[in-house]
Copies of this chain bind each other. A is one copy, B any other.
Amino acid sequence: MTQTKPLAGVKILDMTRVLSGPYCTQTLFDLGAEVVKVENPQHGDDSRLFEPFKSGKSLYFEATNGGKKSLTLNLKNPAAVEVLKRLIARTDVLVENFRPGIMAKFGLDYENAKKINPKLIYASISGFGQTGPDALKPSYDILAQARGGLMSLTGEPDGNPMMTGISLSDVIAGVFAATAITTALYHREKTGESEHIDISMLDCQVAMLESAMMRYQATKIPPKRVGCRHATEAPFQMFQASDRPFVLAAIAGEAMFQRLCQAIGHAEIGADPRFSTTAARHDHIDELGAALQRVFDGKTAAEWVKLLEENAIPVSLIHDLQEVEADPQVQARQMLIKSESPELTDVKMIACPIKMTSLPAGGSRPAAPELGQDTTTVLRDLGFSGEEIENMKQSGAI
């Protein structure tokens, strides 16, 4: 049975670029929506020019624009703005990640867009949000990680703040935006109401602080960096084996900790009064780490992982991306799928992590569009004549 994807029939007008917005609309595409991406005719989404390249294609762009249609519009040209208005009248959702105020310059801020389409869901993603003293400032992932507190929590206790090695703030803003949009789609089915969604990278970063912010609230002392271990539980950390580091988390009660000590042949660690209860381990978190580290020096990480897994202790190697691709669980879950682009047959793309009855695992990633490849088709569907389209080309509107 061919299942209809859950957002089948939903039309997304995608006025986003680089990462937070395209990540959001890629997720909506994967869930079954139709996504029409609006790009400037000069060079399109900036990220078409971003590394890495393969067969002349930016894989950066490819990763978050698969299956979208590309329509070029020069919004400084009034004819292009008229096209956009006609698109807005027919779309379900508009997503934009311009700096606040840019859409208003085109006369297409939320209030005006809603006049064209009273049921429109209009989602704005920005660095700092649509309101507040810094709303108009530009942002980037590293600024959100720094300003939102994440860098202060990441890194060695005696070292500098550390950036997380992915564009975390963009990704989380994109996923929260997708949650907001699908919520608004549900709400509109119930009530017919339009919505303006206002997602900020900084807000989303703050929303991720969870127990760290609670530790600050409890003590009014900013939490310090703790390196590769849990702030309050032990053993939950990275250890160095003879060849490479690995991680374990044996914090599910007394029996698990005793099983760990037995398994590594050091029952005396489990019997040590400093470590003999959860509370005691918490109070002697440094000494416990040191005692275990002396043991783990003695075998390779793979040997420890095998031994500890046999004893039902949560443990893992620290995978580089080659090992991630080769991981049997990642493969079984089909998290890396083939690209449908004929030039990218040896490239694996990241799959949507949402699996549900109407969206089973597997499949392949449609190619990202060439710049403007769907301009003529989209304009014809909107009712523009061949002559009108030609005139728009001549005038540089498309």
Contact = CB atoms under 8 A, between A and B. Distances in A.
A208 B166 contact: yes
A193 B196 CA distance: 28
A45 to B, nearest CB: 14
A41 interface: no
B352 A320 contact: no
How many subunits of this chain does the assembly comprise?
A: 2
A62 interface: yes
Contacts of A203: 333, 335, 353, 355
A383 to B, nearest CB: 27
Contacts of A269: none
Contact of A321 (B128, B202, B209): B209
Residue from A143, A199, A312 with most neighbouring chain B CB atoms (10 Å): A143
A355 B202 contact: no
A51 B330 contact: no
Interface stretch (A67-75, A212-220, A286-294, A369-377): A212-220
Interface stretch (A83-91, A100-108, A241-249, A389-397): A241-249
A210 B63 contact: yes
Contact of A163 (B228, B323, B350): B228
A226 B333 contact: no
A57 to B, nearest CB: 10
A139 interface: yes
B324 A209 contact: yes
A214 B94 CA distance: 28
A330 B202 CA distance: 8
Given A216-B322, A216-B325, A209 B6 contact: no
Contact of A165 (B143, B154, B171, B187): B154
A109 B196 CA distance: 38
A280 interface: no
Residue from A146, A230, A328 with most neighbouring chain B CB atoms (10 Å): A146
A321 B222 CA distance: 5
A329 interface: yes
Given A142-B237, A160-B228, A203-B335, 16 more contacts: A6-B195, A27-B179, A132-B329, A137-B309, A146-B317, A148-B319, A149-B319, A152-B320, A156-B159, A179-B179, A180-B354, A206-B353, A209-B350, A213-B324, A217-B348, A220-B322
25 contacts: A7-B183, A7-B187, A19-B210, A52-B211, A60-B214, A145-B247, A147-B319, A147-B327, A149-B320, A149-B324, A156-B159, A166-B208, A166-B211, A166-B212, A171-B172, A171-B210, A182-B186, A196-B357, A198-B355, A210-B350, A212-B321, A217-B349, A222-B320, A222-B321, A222-B322
